[in-house]
């Protein structure tokens, strides 16, 4: 099954409605026995530009903390998803969009793809950026990317094994579907158990990062409010 993020006018930025819909889709597809695997992509010229900055910046410190908990629930659903989940990365994957990509089982990208965590330039705190990048990259490079807000190109992501390969845009979805179906040929029970094992190994770091990220975002919102007085 192909699922497309559909806010192209906002580069598929994730607002509360999209968060709820994506969680519902994950829940429905995991229970549907006729669906063997899912490919997640984005409509338009971006995969996902992250969580909706306008929505986040408009929040009070306490509301920001509540939203971070909602975001954490989405990430937990992704980590617990038992079936093959492949991302077809058709453009930018920034912040929360980069997290969506890195939580998948396999990633294919177009030449225009970029991945990064630019929250620092937007007055926000990345909850999972340091931890997620640290699973794939040397600590010094992860540190540099998060603090500078710079992005990695498609070629750099292939070199660092963040994505499996670069695909022509016209072939991206079909190639990603083939990749997902290949994973779906594995015994379903052992596949889901193995995924769960990988999640368990990194559970402490995930939970600590979410908790710290929520607190830091609340502090950042409070500091921004104080500066505007």
Q: In CATH, which superfamily holds the domain spanning 2-227?
A: 2-enoyl-CoA Hydratase; Chain A, domain 1 (3.90.226.10)
Q: In the predicted model, is pLDDT for residue 57 greater than 80?
A: no
The percent of residues in the chain predicted with pLDDT above 70, rounded, is 94
Using 50, 70 and 90 to split pLDDT, how confident is the model at 227? Answer: low
Q: What is the pLDDT of residues 22-52, one digit of tens each?
A: 999 999 999 999 999 999 999 999 999 999 9
State whether the Cα torsion 67-69-75-80 is positive or negative. negative
Cα distances from 8 to residues 33, 54, 95, 150, 209, in angstroms, run 30, 16, 17, 22, 29
Note the pLDDT of residue 189: 95
- Return the half-sphere exposure (C-beta side, CA atoms, 13 A cut-off) of residue 197: 6
Q: Is 64 exposed, middle or buried (0-12, 13-18, 19+ CB in 10 A)?
A: buried
Note the pLDDT of residue 41: 98
pTM (2 decimals)?
Answer: 0.91
Are the C-beta atoms of 23 and 77 separated by less than 8 Å?
yes
- What ranges do the domains of the chain cover? 2-227
Q: What is the pLDDT of residues 60-101, one digit of tens each?
A: 777 777 788 889 999 999 999 999 999 999 999 999 999 999
């Amino acid at each position: 099954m192909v699922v497309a993020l559909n806010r192209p006018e906002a580069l598929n930025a994730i607002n509360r409605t999209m968060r709820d819909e994506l969680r519902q889709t994950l829940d429905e597809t995991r229970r549907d026995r006729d669906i063997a695997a899912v490919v997640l992509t984005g409509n338009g010229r971006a995969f996902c530009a992250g969580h909706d900055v306008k929505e986040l910046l408009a929040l009070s410190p306490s509301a920001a903390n509540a939203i971070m908990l909602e975001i954490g629930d989405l990430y937990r659903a992704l980590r617990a998803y038992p079936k093959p989940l492949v991302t077809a990365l058709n453009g930018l994957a920034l912040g929360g969009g980069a997290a969506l990509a890195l939580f998948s089982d396999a990633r294919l990208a177009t030449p225009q793809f970029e991945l990064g965590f630019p929250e620092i330039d937007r007055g926000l705190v990345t909850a999972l950026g340091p931890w997620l990048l640290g699973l794939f990259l040397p600590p010094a490079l992860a540190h540099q990317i998060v603090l500078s807000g710079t992005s990695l190109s498609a070629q750099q992501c292939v070199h660092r094994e963040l994505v499996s390969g670069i695909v022509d845009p016209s072939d991206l979805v079909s190639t990603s579907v083939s990749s997902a179906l290949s994973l779906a040929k594995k015994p379903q029970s052992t596949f889901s158990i193995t995924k769960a094992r990988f999640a368990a190994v990194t559970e402490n770091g995930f939970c600590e990062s979410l908790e710290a990220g929520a607190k830091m975002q609340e502090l950042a919102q409070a500091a921004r409010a104080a500066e505007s007085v």
